[in-house]
Amino acid sequence: MLFNSQAFILVFLPLCLAAFALLRRIEAPRTALKLALLVSSWIFYTYWDLRLFPVLLVSLAVNYLLSRVILNGLPPRLAIALVAVLNLGFLGYFKYMNFFSSAIGDLTGFETPTFTVWLPLGISFFTFQQISYLIDLAKGRARRYSAIDYCLYISFFPQLIAGPIVRHDQLVPQFANLGPVTQDQIARGIAFFTMGLAKKTILADQFAALIAPVFSAAREGDVAVLDAWIAALGFAFQVYYDFSAYSDMAIGLAMFFGLTIPVNFNSPYKATSLTELWRRWHITLTSFLRDYVFVPLGLSLQKFKRTRNYFALIVTFLLSGLWHGAGWNFILWGAWNGIGLCTNLLWQRRGYRLPPAIGWALTFSCWTFSSFLFRAESLYSVATLVRSSFFFAQTAVQPLIELSPANVFLLLSTMVMIVFCPNSQEIAGMKWWRRAPIGLLAGVGFAVFIFYLGGVSEQEFIYFEF
């Protein structure tokens, strides 16, 4: 069930809100409100595939039991090691089994088996959330939660499938006041959800259709130079609008229930350095990697004061690439960003500064070029696209993307929007749109979107694959 589907907007969400409102009206105990949200979240997750629920349930049960063991006095280092082994092993089995098997075969020359393993939705996200809580618990930075609070924290449906990766102290304390929902929260929730819906259907899905033929053709051979660059630029736009759309819709949905989850994007394409871009992009993942990988790794390398940050950056972003997908192209994507961040750090330490316009151009170009690594389906396709983008195509090919006025307008207007226009949280924070005429207009626009969705195919969000 997709956030951008009529089944979700017209059936699931109204039923959830109605049940929640009814329980509030009859002044049901807060535990009943939590259970209603938890059951709704599990129904939402199970709707995709009945096989998914046992995986989620086992993960919740094992980690909650582990939290009790930690509270009973398990030594912190042993606890952290056990948390990492159990959770990364669980994630590795479902997500990386075939990749590791294939890699071993490639390195040794032996024939290795292929396993029939399906990837549970959201496993990367809910695994990382549980790791963060249990490590904080082992270090004395978290407290014990009830089973209901813990399961709702991990399973809350707006953020279950594709984040944000919410920390326990950002969400669980709000459960104590679950129930009241203000008009301001409803208004801002509608704003966030509508903007996310618009980003997904009007922008992200349009770019997906525009560039798909180029990446498909790259599986077979060279593509035209302009096609290669438009594909890279188009995917940079697509992945931003697709993922930030999901995050906006998740924030809006949480507000409908009186809850606040963290912002995940803050105009990353306005950044004038790669370091700044990563502070603005997928903020909750970046902060997780900083706190649970980069900082501990840097602290363990005290003897290498000059190089430890560079090494820690490379390792952190190699892991970031692997987290995004089980493929060599994702590992190279992580390495590309890690090397770029190391270069940025060295540049800053030397005291060099670039004019903002040049810094922005270099940052955006570096990020856009990495689209080949992130979107291409194989290293062969990556090599083909890189070769084609620098006029080294081995054969003459016809362009696949028509430079029609509509396509040119789509590309140019999107560039203007991401650089000069306010982002979702800035718009949702404005006061003027909450006036009655504007609210009515927003409501009509929301209804038009619902009917528009009936005439288009429902496209999954990119990060559902991770």
Could you tell me the two tokens for 337? 């960003």
Catalytic residue among 188, 199, 200, 324: 324
User: Rounded to an integer, what distance in angstroms lies between the CA atom of residue 455 and that of residue 457?
Assistant: 7
| Per-residue tokens: 416 | 């203007």
Selection from 239, 228, 212 nearest residue 418 by Cα: 239
Tokens linked to 22? 């009814």
Query: Which of 341, 176, 346, 317 has its CA nearest to residue 258?
Result: 176
**Number of Cα atoms under 13 Å in the Cβ half of residue 278:** 22
Of 138, 156, 165, 158, give the one whose Cα is nearest residue 289. 165
DSSP 9: I
**Cα–Cα distance measured from residue 128 to residue 159, given in angstroms and rounded to the nearest whole number:** 12
Distance CA 221, CA 164 (A): 37
Q: How far apart are CA 92 and CA 96, in angstroms?
A: 5
> Residue 126 — φ and ψ, nearest 5°?
-70, -20
What's the Cα-to-Cα distance from 191 to each of 86, 151, 160, rounded to whole Å? Answer: 40, 28, 21
Contacts of 115 (CB under 8 A, 6+ apart): 97, 98, 101
Tallying the residues shown for the chain, one arrives at 466
Active site residue 324: yes
Give the active site residues: 324
